Chain A
Amino acid sequence: MDNIAGTKSSLTWAVHLSVAFLVILWLFPTVGLFVSSFRTADQIATSGWWKAMFAAEQNLQLRTAGPDDQVQDGALYVIEGNVLEGSEAKGISAWGTSARDTQAYEPGETVELRDGSRMTLDGEGNYRLESDAPFEGRRGERVFATATVPPEFTLQNYRNMLFDPSNREGMTRAFFSTLTVTIPATIIPILIAAFAAYALAWMEFPGRALLIAAVVGLLVVPLQLALIPLLKFHNAIGIGKGYLGVWFAHTGFGLPLAIYLLRNYMVGLPRDIIENAKVDGATDFQIFTRIILPLSFPALASFAIFQFLWTWNDLLVAMVFLVDATGETTVMTKQIVELLGTRGGNWEILATAAFISMAVPIIVFFAMQRYLVRGLLAGSVK
């Protein structure tokens, strides 16, 4: 409101700040999951995702070099080296040699181990093991250290969920399953609805007003009512559970909105064009395909986006009409719900799966936002 006379500038600042606050509030949950999908299971479990951008203290389990590397220094046998070699971590703040007390010692402290040897570890990770007798065995000493690990992101989660054929929980099959449901379920209702909308918008016949009212009424009928009757019907005609059934169902459920949106748009097209074409001898079929369809592109695009988002994101219709006991045709939403049940705490799996399913709608959303907004404005029943 900065251009209204007499408005205090403090109010303008308040507006900017509150909008910024709301935007952050709205983005925060999504960003959290997004960041988590690029972190390893350990990272997710030990620190909040908002700490992922910064170096964080982590408990590491490390090992010194083995007895093979020992050198004799006078009467002493010595092993020297750096435990942090090869790892990104640096800056040890505490360490220990037992899993029960991983933060027992300060850096720089010298401690006696069980076998009589002495160990020193400094903040940089340099260690020195001394013993009066030769070191034996093959493996080095275990060391638990609390060290600062720089931020690290990985694509491994996506590799596991998308490109690992041995992963039974992978999303690839579900992704293609969703795609297979979505595309026919978007295209077919548009075609059927476009013809019906043209008839309802530009043809005169008895019962037209009644039909339009019926479409408006069907707009709000909950699809929950249709589940059992249609499942019975699909079983009776022999298509059972499968893609065909889910395509039919989405077509039926999407039609009222499609007809309503398209009719409202077509009614607004200029009457002159249609009448001129009729005078020139064009048939209704020609008028429809040559004039109305191209002119209605914005409305067709609006509905296509709606139907696409709705079928892609749908869970209920897919569960009832598509996914059978074998789970061969499971869609992404269904698979995520299953993962929520079986892998409730494995956020690296859940976050990645969720983002794989959300990627396509979000791209479509940002690419075609204009049409989506237009469709919303036309589609909410006035």
Chain B
Amino acid sequence: MHPALQGLVTIVVGVGGCVGYFYLSNFLLDRFLLPARAYSAEESAARRRTGTIIVFLLPALLIAALYIAYFGLDGIFTSTGLFWLAIVLALIFGLWRLRDYVYGEGELTAGRNISHANMIRPWLFLLPAILALGLYLTYPVFETLRLSVTQRNFSTGSYDFVGLQNYAQMMDEPKFWEAMRNNMLWLIVVPALSTGFGLLVAQLTDRISWGNIAKMFIFMPMAISFVGASVIWKLVYDARPEGQGQIGILNALWVNLGGDPQNWLTLPFWNNFFLMAVLIWIQTGFAMVILSAALRGIPEETVEAAIVDGAGPFQIFFKIKVPQIVPTIVVVWTTITLVVLKVFDIVFAMTNGQWGTQVLANYMYSKLFTANDWGVGSASAMVIMLLVTPILVWNVRNARREMK
């Protein structure tokens, strides 16, 4: 089938499936499971009997049959078999509780049915999202953790537990420490300069007539892919041998100032900064947009009071405005930090980690898909996770505080 057609079918099936699921599940809940009407004791007993079969017995048998068909009777007592047995038993127990919850005993009022339906409904709305988040984001965290302490055995296809050996192996590699050092450099330089430039542009464009147009152009790199940006900047950094006309603007300027043409991307250590420039170029627009909104939110009175007291423009900016937007600066800083921790495309496209520019995400990619070493690759992924965790905890705590 042609991919475009397949895409169209997927959209129709996906969208139709989602809408159908939401509509049908709500319809079943309101019409058959818990209609908004009262039942006498006999009626509810009859419903309980049929409900036991339809809601509990049939699905439970189906699940059990699937389990046996997949694992067989011998497979139950392996570690995966027992793990899935626990899940199957939990599911069956859940069905039993659901039956109890839906089909009450004795006389039932309409109000009882409605309130019970309203307790079930949120979970119908949430189910696809919970499944997707669980499978695509939560499960991989634990699976990666497991893979990072195992070694793939290519002859048997099994995964043998090796403890922290992968981590030890990783720590012995100079490339890993190079990646760590570079990541730390990125973590300091990129958020600082992006936020700094963003704040500068936000403040400068605040009061000039063509400020919005200026902001639009500085914001534009946000729409450009990291790969596209890499091509753009590779042309900037392009080097021709001495004597030939330079076609990279940086070398053209450099030669004009009297220097020799340089291969910027192979200059040890400094090439990291030339890669960082690409990300700074992209992220400044983001910082600018958020900080510009924050600057506009500063109460006018505080600025006016400072002017009356004779403060100069620089004092107003550093002593009145910046202290009031510190929380927003922190948000921008952490968001860019997250981007930096995952930076992959730029390094992959421009140097692929050569000439001392390795970073963690690219190191991990080369371990996973070039060296095919899942153990060490997963271990380095866990290092990235570890670096992200403080921000994760901080975000969750903030979100919880805000909700109260």
Q: Which residues of A contact B (CB under 8 A)?
A: 1-7, 11, 15-16, 18-20, 22-23, 26-30, 32-33, 36, 44-50, 176-177, 179-180, 183-184, 187-188, 191-193, 195-196, 198-200, 203, 205, 208-209, 211-230, 232-233, 243-244, 247-249, 251-253, 255-256, 259, 283-285, 288, 309, 312-316, 319-320, 329, 333, 336-337, 340, 347, 350-351, 353-354, 357-358, 361-362, 364-366, 369, 372-373, 376-377, 380-382
Other CB < 8 Å A-B pairs besides A205-B122, A243-B6, A333-B225, 5 of them?
A30-B224, A196-B126, A220-B391, A255-B129, A351-B231
B264 interfacial by beta-carbon distance below 8 Å: no
Q: Which residues of B contact A382 (CB under 8 A)?
A: 327, 331, 398, 402
**Chain B min CB distance to A377 (Å):** 6
Q: How many A-B residue pairs have CB under 8 A?
A: 342
Q: With A183-B7, A205-B119, A224-B381 given, is the CB distance from A337 to B126 under 8 Å? A: no
Flag if A361 contacts B225 (CB, 8 Å): yes
Measured in the bound complex, the distance between the Cα atoms of B284 and A50 in whole Å is 25
CB nearest to B245 among chain A residues:
A47
Flag if A252 contacts B224 (CB, 8 Å): no
CB nearest to A312 among chain B residues:
B225
Q: Which residues of A contact B382 (CB under 8 A)?
A: 225
Measured in the bound complex, the distance between the Cα atoms of B395 and A369 in whole Å is 27
Flag if A315 contacts B231 (CB, 8 Å): no
Q: Which of B38-46, B170-178, B360-368 lies at the interface with chain A? A: B360-368
Measured in the bound complex, the distance between the Cα atoms of B141 and A219 in whole Å is 13
Flag if B133 contacts A361 (CB, 8 Å): no
Most buried by A among B208, B334, B382: B208
Flag if A243 contacts B7 (CB, 8 Å): yes
Measured in the bound complex, the distance between the Cα atoms of B385 and A361 in whole Å is 30
Flag if A316 contacts B365 (CB, 8 Å): yes
Q: Which residues of B contact A252 (CB under 8 A)?
A: 132-133, 135-137
Flag if A205 contacts B228 (CB, 8 Å): no
CB nearest to A176 among chain B residues:
B4
Flag if A354 contacts B232 (CB, 8 Å): yes
Flag if B220 contacts A225 (CB, 8 Å): no
Measured in the bound complex, the distance between the Cα atoms of B212 and A19 in whole Å is 11
Flag if B137 contacts A19 (CB, 8 Å): no
**Chain B min CB distance to A251 (Å):** 6
Among the listed A30, A312, A329, A351, which residue makes an inter-chain contact with B221, where contact means beta carbons less than 8 Å apart?
A30
Among the listed B201, B224, B293, which residue makes an inter-chain contact with A19, where contact means beta carbons less than 8 Å apart?
B201
Flag if A224 contacts B18 (CB, 8 Å): no
Leading 7 A-B pairs by shortest Cβ distance: A252-B136, A313-B225, A196-B129, A365-B223, A229-B143, A199-B125, A226-B140
Q: With A192-B128, A354-B232, A369-B216 given, is the CB distance from A222 to B223 under 8 Å? A: no
Q: Which residues of B contact A248 (CB under 8 A)?
A: 136
Q: Which residues of B contact A314 (CB under 8 A)?
A: 225
Flag if B348 contacts A337 (CB, 8 Å): yes
B226 interfacial by beta-carbon distance below 8 Å: yes
Flag if B214 contacts A23 (CB, 8 Å): yes
Measured in the bound complex, the distance between the Cα atoms of B360 and A222 in whole Å is 12
Q: With A243-B3, A252-B137 given, is the CB distance from A380 to B402 under 8 Å? A: no
Flag if B147 contacts A26 (CB, 8 Å): no
Measured in the bound complex, the distance between the Cα atoms of B203 and A11 in whole Å is 13
B211 interfacial by beta-carbon distance below 8 Å: yes
Measured in the bound complex, the distance between the Cα atoms of B207 and A7 in whole Å is 13
**Chain A min CB distance to B371 (Å):** 13
B69 interfacial by beta-carbon distance below 8 Å: no
Most buried by B among A45, A215, A381: A381
B286 interfacial by beta-carbon distance below 8 Å: yes
Flag if B399 contacts A193 (CB, 8 Å): no
